[in-house]
């Protein structure tokens, strides 16, 4: 007799979500559904009507794990709306900030999955490795962007200021010294994941991948005409799931897609791996890629060059797009600036929103005990991927089709 296994909330991730798995007599998952149950984001509505500089400051609070991608996606969207061309050095400092943040975020994920893969005799080694890496790359973000968590110096038009030549040389030396530690850390994680002996094919699905850039983001590679967004009630077969789910379902060319480290590895490096093990390998390898990127930027950066463009804040209503490749995948912010110099429209389509409809089906075909492994392989961040719902004041019922566009 089949039954439904429910894990609510799923653990060792940011925010709250539910995994429902229909299983057969052998415990094999025949139907997997994963959905956010984290309530209310609403920041897009809060910034509407405010001056443009308000948006990156507020939307970086969407998430305490991903403030850098949200800040960058926000300024990129407003830059685009105002037709601003960011100076080369300003762009380099933005890319340097994201590269350091990505290494930090991937290291945090390795801490979250340590209980799955790291044996007791290596646990202290793995935790020390994570701490040393995080300490160094967070110093980069702190120096370049103003603050390690909520970056105050990422501004519309570029950056608030260039770094000093002394700071450039110091960060360059520290990142060069970090390279052997990152190499050893990546070898450790990849080796431990391989040693776990997860079933071959676990987490494999047939959905396409989507990525715009290897390390930063490229709005020109995100085609708005190919993008649609539907309500969860139209996606999930179970009406109760559709009503409780707190995020929309984004589609590209009419289908759900995978974003994130494996998608980027597939698009830009021809990576052929699929499934849970491939997710972990691709994420670990991105630490090396981003460290090399950060070192290259610091080697080339002209610390005397301007980093911020002059611009007229009076907009034309053009829809600007910012597409940033955050640690968990493509983070798209869209904004318009009115002729009065205020935010007229704002929307954020965050990485986990893209992956939510893919993660559930990726659990199918294997024992339900492996379901959490599949989910954690994507490093979901549900706090970002949540929207406002509207309920009836009298009976608290959810009003249909009023979930996002209030």
Q: Which residues contact 152 (CB under 8 A, 6 or more apart)?
A: 145, 146, 160
d(CA 168, CA 212): 28
d(CA 401, CA 170): 53
8 Å CB contact between 342 and 51: yes
384 is known to lie in a ligand binding site: yes
387 is known to lie in a ligand binding site: yes
Q: Which residues pair with 249 in a beta bridge?
A: 230
Q: Which residues pair with 159 in a beta bridge?
A: 154
d(CA 107, CA 204): 24
8 Å CB contact between 155 and 87: no
d(CA 46, CA 58): 8
44 is known to lie in a ligand binding site: yes
66 is known to lie in a ligand binding site: yes
CA separation (Å) from 224 to 127, 220, 333, 403? 41, 10, 12, 21
246 is known to lie in a ligand binding site: no
Q: Which residues pair with 322 in a beta bridge?
A: 333
Q: Which residues contact 355 (CB under 8 A, 6 or more apart)?
A: 258, 259, 260, 328, 329, 378, 380
Q: Which residues pair with 308 in a beta bridge?
A: 158
8 Å CB contact between 67 and 58: no
Tokens of 319: 């829809």
Residue 10: name the closest of 276, 282, 382 by CA.
Answer: 382
Annotated binding residues for Mg(2+), written as ranges, equal 44, 387
Q: Indicate the annotated binding residues.
A: 44, 63, 66, 381, 384, 387
Known binding positions for Fe cation: 66, 384
**Binding-site residues for Ni(2+):** 63, 66, 381
């Amino acid at each position: 007799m089949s039954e439904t296994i429910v894990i609510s909330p799923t653990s060792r991730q940011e925010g709250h979500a539910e995994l429902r798995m229909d299983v057969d007599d052998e415990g094999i998952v025949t139907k997997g559904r994963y959905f956010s149950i984290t309530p209310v984001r609403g920041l897009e509505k809060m910034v509407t009507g405010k001056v443009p500089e308000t948006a990156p400051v507020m939307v970086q609070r969407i998430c305490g794990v991903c403030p850098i991608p949200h800040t960058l996606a926000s300024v990129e969207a407003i830059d685009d709306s105002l037709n601003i061309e960011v100076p080369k050095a300003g762009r380099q400092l933005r890319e340097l900030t994201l590269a350091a943040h990505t290494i930090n975020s991937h290291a945090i994920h390795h801490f979250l999955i340590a209980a799955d893969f790291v044996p007791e005799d290596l646990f202290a080694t793995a935790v020390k490795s994570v701490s040393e890496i995080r300490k160094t790359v967070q110093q980069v973000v702190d120096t370049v962007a103003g603050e390690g968590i909520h970056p105050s110096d990422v501004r519309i038009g570029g950056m608030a200021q260039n770094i000093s030549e002394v700071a450039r040389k110091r960060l360059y030396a520290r990142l060069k010294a970090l390279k052997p530690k990152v190499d050893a850390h990546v070898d450790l994680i990849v080796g431990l994941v391989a040693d776990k002996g997860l079933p071959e094919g676990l987490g494999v699905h047939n959905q396409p991948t989507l990525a715009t850039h290897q390390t930063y983001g490229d709005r020109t590679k995100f085609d708005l005409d190919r993008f649609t967004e539907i309500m969860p009630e139209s996606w999930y077969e179970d009406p109760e799931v559709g009503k409780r789910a707190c995020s929309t379902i984004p589609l590209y060319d009419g289908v759900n897609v995978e974003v994130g480290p494996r998608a980027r590895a597939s698009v830009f490096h021809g990576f052929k791996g699929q499934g849970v093990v491939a997710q972990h390998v691709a994420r670990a390898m991105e630490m090396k890629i981003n460290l090399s990127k950060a070192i290259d930027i610091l080697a080339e950066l002209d610390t005397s060059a301007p980093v911020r463009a002059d611009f007229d804040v009076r907009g034309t209503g053009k829809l600007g797009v910012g597409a940033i490749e955050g640690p968990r995948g493509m983070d798209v912010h869209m904004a318009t600036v009115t002729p009065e110099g205020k935010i007229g429209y704002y929307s954020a389509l965050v990485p986990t929103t893209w992956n939510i409809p893919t993660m559930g089906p990726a659990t199918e075909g294997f024992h339900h005990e492996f379901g959490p492994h599949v989910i954690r392989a994507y490093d979901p961040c549900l706090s970002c991927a949540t929207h406002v719902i509207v309920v009836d004041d009298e009976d608290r019922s959810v009003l249909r089709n009023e979930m996002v566009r209030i």
